[in-house]
């Protein structure tokens, strides 16, 4: 799951002028990042979390958790939104409309970051799940916080808007500088990109590695494809890359067909990071992610849920009581001349109405298309182009320490890509990444392994929401764990205290060829009738922490202008 190693540093999209404007929202104090100088050191103890009942990290589970999925729960959202008018006609209303300056729909990283940046406007944040965080959530066991979704973000460049944003949150991640090991055909290679797995393919593998490094550094005539891209000078370059597939592009760089080891490693990476094959994703998205692999990443105990939790903790003190509302499913958004009416169902199914001066939809666009009234045809057409892929995560709790000689052990199968049938190959592969959940804060006597299993094909969602899915996937995880994973980390089945599953139905938008070049992000992200704004990773079909935060940073000033203008 090497998600998120794309480089946000070249937020060149944000010109100096824009950066200063963002500063006015409280977003970018533009101080040095906390990450500076932290290389390799374990994360220091964070300020104590407030442990709110709706925190992104669930610390209430017993030693052995109930045999049920964490993650995304499809009901009641599915039944309500698929027959919204029937629900609206029958649901009991709870009181008069409540006047608020700003409503934010969705409490994932994008929604929480937007709320933080616009906290001065006292937003109300509506999140359908009982806990905030979206795909950046986690759990805890014997004092170890671990991720059930997003694990890490990339180290932002000092002075960049994301660095400023993170600095305000005062987080102290551990920085990973080492290359992750790759397992091919059961053998572990610690320096795969030096060509250690094959004599015949070594030269090509090293050439590819040099290329990724050059792209990351903007050297040797290469340029990093920034996404989101707002700088016109970089736009043409990103568009050109976006018009071709990542696999075509890589073959050109390699000067012919990829060596099977390189193909297998990059293909598995695309499944785990982008939820799709390298033949499906654009070279812009693939390169944005993979070149970032050659940079540094920031890891917190609990993964990116720790960022979400810090945001929630800060917001709960910065906002008036009750402005963070979990268990609230937004079903209807109507825009008038002076206000936006946002109707939502609470956990008991009662309907409430917010009368807001502006709203930010920080939920996925397929939801926005269902809840927003009178959406323009071209926005609906752009939403229809978005596809989402499913994901499964297992956390393995071990009553034993393991050697902390990896962060992400990357399982690349037998090294025989490309795959004609991606679905069959991905099902055969199962888990692609074994992440050491205790890497940011090592423990001697206990370990959490976070296993990432992408479903990089259409139809995966039905499988994860199927009524037998828990027992089916649980036994598949156990089988792969015992056969392949425990031996790799030197642990035994007897060390396993619990294996906890999380499922995600729609978490990864597919970065398909042409999505950016066809200007769909502009259509999806443009404000609706001056009062409704959009901020979520899928505006750019790029599933990453940096996309979510950048979307919030860009939405902030736009919303402020409307609220200031009355
Ligand atoms: C298993 C997994 C691992 C990942 N690993 C990484 C990683 O290591 N690094 C990385 O950068 N990215 C990773 N990602 C990508 C991750 O999705 C992003 O990093 C980020 O969390 C997306 O944030 P978001 O706010 O844009 O979207 P989301 O997290 O999807 O948030 C949207 C929110 O809107 C809510 N919502 C939806 N509909 C409604 C409604 N009608 N009313 C109210 N609320 C609603 C949802 O419940 C959700 O909380 C991973 C994703 C998954 C699934």
Atom of ligand 1 nearest to the CA of 502: 1
**Sheet containing 57-58, strands listed edge to edge, beginning at the edge strand earlier in sequence:** 57-58, 138-141, 144-147
Atom of ligand 1 nearest to the CA of 538: 26
Protein residue with its CA nearest to atom 14 in ligand 1: 150
Q: Report pLDDT for 31.
A: 26
Residue 520, ligand 1, Cβ within 6 A: no
Residue ranges per domain, the chain?
28-169+301-385+512-565
Please choose from 73, 108, 354, 525 the residue to mutate so as to test ligand 1's pocket, defined by most ligand atoms within 8 A of CB.
Answer: 108
DSSP state of 515: T
Structure tokens given for 358? 């502006």
Of the candidates 152, 133, 141, 170, the one whose C-alpha atom is nearest the C-alpha of residue 33 is 170
Q: Report pLDDT for 4.
A: 36
C-alpha 508 to ligand 1 mean position (Å):
8
C-alpha 255 to ligand 1 mean position (Å):
37
Dihedral Cα 368, 102, 318, 526, nearest 10 deg: 50
Residues of the chain with pLDDT under 70: 1-46, 566
Q: Report pLDDT for 42.
A: 66
Residue 136, ligand 1, Cβ within 6 A: yes
C-alpha 442 to ligand 1 mean position (Å):
27
Calpha distance 419→421 (Å, rounded): 5
- How far, CA to CA in Å, does 179 sit from each of 22, 407, 410? 34, 9, 11
Residue 391, ligand 1, Cβ within 6 A: yes
Please choose from 104, 363, 434 the residue to mutate so as to test ligand 1's pocket, defined by most ligand atoms within 8 A of CB.
Answer: 363
Please choose from 8, 78, 106, 388 the residue to mutate so as to test ligand 1's pocket, defined by most ligand atoms within 8 A of CB.
Answer: 106
C-alpha 545 to ligand 1 mean position (Å):
9
CB atoms within 10 A of CB 463: 17
- How far, CA to CA in Å, does 411 sit from each of 207, 217, 296? 22, 27, 20
C-alpha 1 to ligand 1 mean position (Å):
15
Residue 134, ligand 1, Cβ within 6 A: yes
Calpha distance 409→397 (Å, rounded): 17
17, with CB counted inside 10 A (0-12, 13-18, 19+), is exposed
Calpha distance 122→205 (Å, rounded): 52
Q: Long-range contacts of range 249-256, CB-CB < 8 Å, 24 or more positions apart?
A: 249/283, 249/286, 249/287, 250/208, 250/278, 250/283, 250/286, 253/207, 253/208, 253/211, 254/204, 254/207, 254/208, 255/204, 255/207
With helix as H, strand as E and coil as C, how does 9-30 read?
CCCCCCCHHHHHHHHCCCCCCC
Q: What are phi and psi of 261, to 5 degrees?
A: -70, -45
C-alpha 219 to ligand 1 mean position (Å):
33
Of the candidates 26, 478, 519, 558, the one whose C-alpha atom is nearest the C-alpha of residue 230 is 519
Q: In whole angstroms, how large is the CA radius of gyration of the chain? A: 22
306-344 residues labelled b (16+ CB within 10 A) or e (exposed): bbbbbbbbbbbeebeeebbbbbbbbbbbbbeeebbbbbb
Please choose from 54, 107, 136, 300 the residue to mutate so as to test ligand 1's pocket, defined by most ligand atoms within 8 A of CB.
Answer: 136
- Answer for the pair 10, 226: CB distance below 8 angstroms, yes or no: yes
C-alpha 185 to ligand 1 mean position (Å):
33
Residues comprising the chain, all counted: 566
At the topology level, CATH places domain 28-169+301-385+512-565 in: FAD/NAD(P)-binding domain (3.50.50)
Q: Report pLDDT for 21.
A: 33
Residue 330, ligand 1, Cβ within 6 A: yes
Of the candidates 195, 307, 318, the one whose C-alpha atom is nearest the C-alpha of residue 259 is 195
Residue 393, ligand 1, Cβ within 6 A: yes
Residue 537, ligand 1, Cβ within 6 A: yes
């Amino acid at each position: 799951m090497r998600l998120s190693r794309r480089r946000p540093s070249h937020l060149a999209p944000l010109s100096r002028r824009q950066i200063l404007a963002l500063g006015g929202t409280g977003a970018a104090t533009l101080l040095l990042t906390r990450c500076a100088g932290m290389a390799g050191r374990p994360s220091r103890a964070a300020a104590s979390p407030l442990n709110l009942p709706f925190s992104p990290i669930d610390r209430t589970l017993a030693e052995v958790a109930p045999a049920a999925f964490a993650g995304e729960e499809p009901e009641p959202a599915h039944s309500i939104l698929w027959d919204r008018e029937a629900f609206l006609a029958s649901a009991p209303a709870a009181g008069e409309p409540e006047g608020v300056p700003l409503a934010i729909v969705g409490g994932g990283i994008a929604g929480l970051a937007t709320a933080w940046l616009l906290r001065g406007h006292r937003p109300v944040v509506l999140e359908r799940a009982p806990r905030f965080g979206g795909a950046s959530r986690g759990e805890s066991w014997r004092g170890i916080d671990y991720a059930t979704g997003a694990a890490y973000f990339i180290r932002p460049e000092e002075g960049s808007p994301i660095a400023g944003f993170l600095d305000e949150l005062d987080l102290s991640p551990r920085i990973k500088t080492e290359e992750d090991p790759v397992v091919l055909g059961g053998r572990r290679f610690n320096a795969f990109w030096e060509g250690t797995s094959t004599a015949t393919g070594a030269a090509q593998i090293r050439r590819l590695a040099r290329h990724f490094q050059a792209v990351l550094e903007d050297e040797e005539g290469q340029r990093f494809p920034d996404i989101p891209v707002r700088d016109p000078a970089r736009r043409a370059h990103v568009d050109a890359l976006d018009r071709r597939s990542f696999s075509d592009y890589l073959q050109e760089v390699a000067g012919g067909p990829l060596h099977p080891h390189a193909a297998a490693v990059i293909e598995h990476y695309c499944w785990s990071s982008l939820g799709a094959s390298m033949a499906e994703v654009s070279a812009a998205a693939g390169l944005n992610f993979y070149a970032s692999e050659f940079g540094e990443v920031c890891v917190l105990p609990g993964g990116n849920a720790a960022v979400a939790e810090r945001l929630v903790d800060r917001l709960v003190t910065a906002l008036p009581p009750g402005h963070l509302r979990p268990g609230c499913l937004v079903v209807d958004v109507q825009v008038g001349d002076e206000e936006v009416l946002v109707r939502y169902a609470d956990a008991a199914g009662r309907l409430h109405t917010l009368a807001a001066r502006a709203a930010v939809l920080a939920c996925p666009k397929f939801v926005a298309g269902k809840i927003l009234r009178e959406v323009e045809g071209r926005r609906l057409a752009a939403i229809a182009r978005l596809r989402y892929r499913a994901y499964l995560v297992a956390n393995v709790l071990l009553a034993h320490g393991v050697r902390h000689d990896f962060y992400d052990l990357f399982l690349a199968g037998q090294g025989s890509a490309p795959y004609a049938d991606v679905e069959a190959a991905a099902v055969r592969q199962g888990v692609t990444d074994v992440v050491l959940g205790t890497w940011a804060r090592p423990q001697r006597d206990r370990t959490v392994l976070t296993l990432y299993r992408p479903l990089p094909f259409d139809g995966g969602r039905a499988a994860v929401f199927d009524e037998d899915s828990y027992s089916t996937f649980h036994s598949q995880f156990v089988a792969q764990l015992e056969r392949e994973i425990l031996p790799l980390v030197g642990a035994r089945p007897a060390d396993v205290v619990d294996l906890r599953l999380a499922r995600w139905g729609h978490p990864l938008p597919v970065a398909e060829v042409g999505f950016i070049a066809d200007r769909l992000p502009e259509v999806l992200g443009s404000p609706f009738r001056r009062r409704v704004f959009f901020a979520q990773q899928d505006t750019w079909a790029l599933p990453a922490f940096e996309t979510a935060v950048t979307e919030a940073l860009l939405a902030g000033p736009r919303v402020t202008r409307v609220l200031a203008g009355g």
